[in-house]
DNA sequence: TATTAGCACTCTAATTAAATGAGTGCTAAC
DNA sequence: GTTAGCACTCATTTAATTAGAGTGCTAATA
């Protein structure tokens, strides 16, 4: 059954009011609401209906109503009017940090948390199966070799390799050529035993050294593949009474500190599903137990063709959805411009 | 005035008891304490004296006594017996991470927090005035140059530089040689206008490109110099009732999240003073307001000759000092071995 | 038929009052 | 010097009371 226009208005009024105050809202409050001139009794009747339909609930018999998850959902899906927003222009700040992705993302998290007063999290995109552009070996010291690996998407990793025997420039140069001849253009899955065997053949007496180097490269490349998550503003949740009682706050803060569970929200799995754009999860809709009293808004950003990461904002159910959504949209645009320019 | 032997025993008993329970301890509790057979009345008399001397305080008239900061100080200075500790052998875990210092330190923080159940923080050492070993330019793409900078202490930084015009291998090679000729063996303070001018002269028509590269190098090198702080286990403070009431917990957690104030504890300034080894700060002895109800134990580690960082553990005043100190000592030894081996 | 006024009822939260009990200080006896 | 004993204090707990917000229902009204 659809809601009548009046019911929608009342529901909207209830939710708006609750978003502001965080307190259950009673019939009298709504009846004083300017544009619908109805007595509290009438409102009560409508409220009873709305409750029966599952849009609002009473925390206890003689309290006002608060929106149920279904109520919030209705609000988010329908009532939220687009609102242009004069958020601080983040772009300049962002550009400065654009070349170190980790720093940039941590900074994005911080910006979001500060701007919204909620908790933010950002996942580093999953770079799996990026091809190796080239490898560069350098002899740093008599028993140290530096390997710099450049991959598609300009991911740069370096690793210092300790070796037992002295190595001279000649050998390093030779190994360098071998590595590049065989590895250029391959991703991790394509480097198989056959290739490795061939490389070793060419390396001759330095096969074991080559082996060490390959190991180091493998470790370094596989690091790229780790989905890391940056968070900021975890303590913001303490600002909202409904989240900050001892037990809930402990659980939530722990979730943010540990970060493991956050992958369920903005990590790999979520990214593969076709859930691009902005998504809102309310209460039990999130897969994380400790967030059952929270709402989560996520957005997908694209760092380059096919490489996605996610951003999430966690707050109380009565979060300012409009602001969060428009902030995220704004940010998406800024990020897009930066990344486009970059590549 | 010095304390009598009996007074010392009683004080010790009070503190030990309080460390365990977190509750004020009364005279009867102490009188039941095995090795001194005294009635509660006698204990009460002694307690009154100890209170007058400032070693213990009563939270209110009809409560037991708790140690004052002075009492804790007495305990830490004198009573703490060395206790060998069978801490999980961290060594193996640590060695694996030794080549990426940031990851290692974050990991150290985590280990400490998990082992002690308090909050830990680790400062990255201050590498100021490290000399440049060499710089390596590589042309990654037609308009991208990769600069890898290796400094003393095997600090490796890399940065991608975008350039307007196409660059060919020749130019990169030439600039590479110029850079290394002039910069090798210098630290940041030694690179002055005179040197820069000379370099530009040699670069000829590529002077402005060289300039861009120098800028990038300068930025990258100065990053090394940032003292960063890694924390772990911030939520552990919620385990201690005396720290976890709403207000205190909020303040403390915020301090740990922001990290700025932590530099006062384990950052630069503290390092320059001759406060090597293990230090204990109790209550107001810490310079951070939000920690006035906490105790802080710090230790200094040496990553190589003259390069120091600090580790801190924050917990309630009734923290298990023995465990914390012995854990830190243990860790110092392990770290030392790893760093010695490395260089 | 839709709306509203009015009233009894419910339940939480705040307030007050009383009971509990841990622990002290002091005095007088050992 | 030590201890038993008792009166006293004060935070904490428990219970009882009150106040107030808000509802549901009924009967009157437009």
Q: Which nucleotide is nearest to A30 (CA to C1')?
A: D22
Return the C-alpha torsion angle A28, A31, A33, A38, nearest 10.
Answer: -170
| Nearest-by-Cβ selection for A99 from B156, B159, B244 | B159
What separation in angstroms does the CA of A44 have from each of A27, A28, A50?
Answer: 6, 9, 10
Q: Mind listing the pLDDT tens digit for each residue in A202-259?
A: 998 989 899 989 988 888 888 777 778 999 999 999 999 889 888 889 999 999 999 9
Beta strand A56-57 with A66-67 is: antiparallel
pLDDT range class, residue A85, cuts 50, 70, 90: very low
Mean pLDDT score, B41-53: 93
Per-residue model confidence (pLDDT) at position A121: 97
Strand C protein footprint, C-beta under 7 A: A 37-39, 41-42, 45, 60-63; B 23-29, 40-41, 44, 47-48, 51, 58, 61-65
Mean pLDDT of chain A: 86
Cα-based distances in Å from B53 to A237, A259, B71, B217, B303: 44, 48, 10, 60, 43
What letters, b where the CB count within 10 A reaches 16 and e where it falls short, cover B40-49? eebbbebbeb
B5-79, CATH topology level: Arc Repressor Mutant, subunit A (1.10.10)
% of chain B at pLDDT higher than 70: 90
Is A269 or A305 the better-scoring residue by pLDDT? A305
User: pLDDT band at A102, cuts 50/70/90?
Assistant: confident
Say whether residue A138 is in contact with chain B using an 8 A CB cutoff. yes
| A174 SS3 class | helix
- CA pair distance A41, B184, nearest whole angstrom: 84
Which two three-digit tokens encode residue B161? 């530089």
| Cβ-defined contact of A238 to B250 (cutoff 8 Å) | yes
A85 touches chain B (CB under 8 A): no
Picking from B148, B154, B162, the nearest residue to A144 by CB comes out as B154
How much is the pLDDT for A273? Answer: 55
Percent of chain B with pLDDT over 90: 46
**Which two tokens mark A270?**
């979520």
pLDDT of residue A37: 86
User: For position A275, what pLDDT does the model report?
Assistant: 61
Nearest residue of A to residue B143, measured between CA atoms: A343
Phi-psi region of B283 (alpha: psi -120 to 50; beta: other; left: phi over 0): left
**Is pTM beyond 0.85 here?**
yes
Q: How far is B61 from chain A (nearest CA, A)?
A: 29
Task: Give the range among A154-163, A182-191, B98-107, B155-164 with minimum mean pLDDT.
Answer: B98-107
In eight-state DSSP terms, residue A75 is: I
Name the helix (H) or strand (E) containing B112.
helix B101-116
The span from the CA of A313 to the CA of A118, in Å, is: 7
Q: What is the mean pLDDT of residues A72-84?
A: 70
Residue contact A140–B159, C-beta within 8 A: no
CATH architecture of A91-125+227-342: 2-Layer Sandwich (3.30)
**Interatomic CA distance for residues A3 and A11, integer angstroms:** 10
The model's pLDDT over B63-101, given as tens digits with 9 standing for 90+, comes to: 899 999 999 999 888 755 544 444 445 555 666 665 678
Total residues belonging to chain A: 343
Closest CA to B14 of B81, B59, B68: B68
Name which of A99, A158, A342 is nearest B156 (Cβ-Cβ).
Answer: A158
Most confident of A8-17, A125-134, B158-167: A8-17
**Domain extent listing, chain B:** 5-79, 91-125+227-342, 132-224
Mean pLDDT to the nearest integer, B222-248: 88
Distance CA B94, CA B155 (A): 19
Q: Dump strand ranges (E) for chain B.
A: 56-57, 66-67, 119-123, 132-141, 144-151, 155-162, 229-232, 279-282, 294-304, 307-316
Q: Does B114 touch chain A (CB under 8 A)?
A: no
Say if the Cβ atoms of A154 and B140 lie within 8 Å: yes
């Amino acid at each position: 059954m659809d809601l009548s226009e009046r019911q929608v208005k009342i529901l909207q009024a209830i939710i708006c009011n609750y978003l502001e105050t965080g307190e259950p809202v009673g019939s009298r409050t709504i009846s004083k609401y300017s544009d619908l001139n109805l007595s509290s009794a009438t409102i009560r009747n409508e409220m009873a209906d709305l409750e029966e339909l599952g849009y609002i609930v009473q925390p206890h018999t003689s309290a006002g109503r608060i929106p149920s998850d279904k109520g919030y959902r209705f609000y988010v899906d329908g009532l939220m009017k687009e609102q242009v927003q004069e958020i601080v222009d983040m772009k300049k700040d962002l550009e400065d940090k654009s070349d170190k992705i980790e720093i940039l993302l941590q900074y994005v998290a911080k910006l979001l948390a500060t701007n919204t007063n909620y908790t933010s999290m950002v996942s580093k995109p999953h770079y799996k199966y990026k091809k190796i552009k080239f490898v560069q070996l350098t002899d740093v010291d008599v028993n140290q070799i530096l390997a710099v690996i450049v991959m598609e998407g300009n991911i740069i990793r370096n690793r210092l390799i300790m070796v037992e025997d002295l190595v001279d420039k000649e050998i390093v140069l030779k190994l360098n050529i071998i590595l590049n001849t065989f590895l250029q253009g391959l991703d991790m899955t394509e480097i198989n035993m056959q290739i490795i065997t061939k490389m070793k053949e060419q390396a001759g007496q330095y096969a074991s050294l080559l082996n060490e180097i390959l190991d180091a490269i493998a470790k370094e490349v596989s690091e790229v593949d780790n989905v890391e998550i940056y968070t900021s503003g975890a303590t913001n949740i303490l600002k909202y009474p409904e989240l900050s009682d001892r037990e809930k706050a402990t659980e939530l803060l722990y979730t943010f500190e540990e970060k493991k569970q956050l992958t369920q929200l903005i990590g790999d799995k979520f990214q593969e599903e076709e859930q691009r754009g902005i998504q809102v999860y309310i209460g039990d809709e999130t897969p994380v137990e400790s967030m059952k009293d929270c709402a989560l808004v996520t957005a997908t950003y694209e760092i380059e063709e096919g490489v996605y990461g996610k951003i999430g904002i966690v707050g109380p159910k009565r979060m300012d959805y409009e602001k969060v959504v428009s902030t995220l949209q704004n940010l998406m645009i800024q990020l897009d411009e930066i990344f486009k320019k970059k590549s």
